[in-house]
Amino acid sequence: MVAYTVTSSDNCVSTLTRPQGPPSNSAFPTGSTTVEWLVTDVAGTMVNCVFTVTVTDNERPVIACPANIARNTDSGQCSATLTYGVTATDNHSATTTRTKGLPTGSVFPKGSTLVEWLATDVVGLTATCAFTVTVTDIEKPTII
C-alpha cells in the first residue's frame, strides 16, 4: 500500500481530480506508476501535478524442500522409486527449477543422491534448497 497526500488551494472554489494512477492507500504494482492530479477552479483555470511512484521488490522467494530422505531399496531392485514435493512462495509468484539430482517420481539408485532446487520470482530474485536421498540395500542375497 502506498499513501500520499495531494492538496490544492485557490482564491475561489476549485475541484481536485485524479485523471491518472491509483488513489492513495492503494496497492501499487512493482515498477514505476505515474499518478496525475488536476485542479480546476470555477474560471476554468487548470494546473496539474504529476509524480511517479516506484515500487521495488526486494523480497526473495521462499522455497521448501523435504528433509533428507532415507529409503530402503524396492523389493528385488537395487534402487527405490521416490516421490517428494517442493514448494515455493513469493509476494508475487515464483517458479521452481531442479538444478541437481532426480525429479520426483524417479528411480533413485542405491547410495546418496543430492537434489537441489531453485526458486526464481518475477524480478529475478532467487532462493535455493537441497536435500539428500539415501537408498540403502538391506535385502539379503539368495543362493540358488
Please name the amino acid found at residue 38: L
Residue 43 DSSP label: T
**pLDDT at residue number 100:** 98
Pair 66, 132 in one domain = yes
Residue 75 lies inside a defined structural domain of this protein? yes
Question: Which has the closest alpha carbon to 14: 37, 38, 41?
Answer: 41
Q: Rounded mean pLDDT of 54-77?
A: 96
Residue 37 lies inside a defined structural domain of this protein? yes
Pair 82, 25 in one domain = no
**pLDDT at residue number 59:** 94
Residue 3 lies inside a defined structural domain of this protein? no
Pair 66, 131 in one domain = yes
CATH number for the domain harbouring residue 94? 2.60.40.10
Entry pTM: 0.73
Res. 6: pLDDT tops 90: yes
Number of Cβ atoms within 10 Å of the Cβ of 123:
14
Radius of gyration of the chain (CA): 29
Q: DSSP string of 48-59?
A: EEEEEEEE---P
Residue range 83-105, pLDDT digits in tens: 999 999 999 899 999 999 999 99
Pair 69, 127 in one domain = yes
**pLDDT at residue number 12:** 85
* Grid coordinates belonging to 43: 474560471
Residue range 37-65, pLDDT digits in tens: 999 999 999 999 999 999 999 999 999 99
Percent of the chain with pLDDT over 90: 85
Percent of the chain with pLDDT over 70: 100
Question: Which has the closest alpha carbon to 40: 71, 20, 19, 66?
Answer: 19
Domain that holds residue 130: 62-136
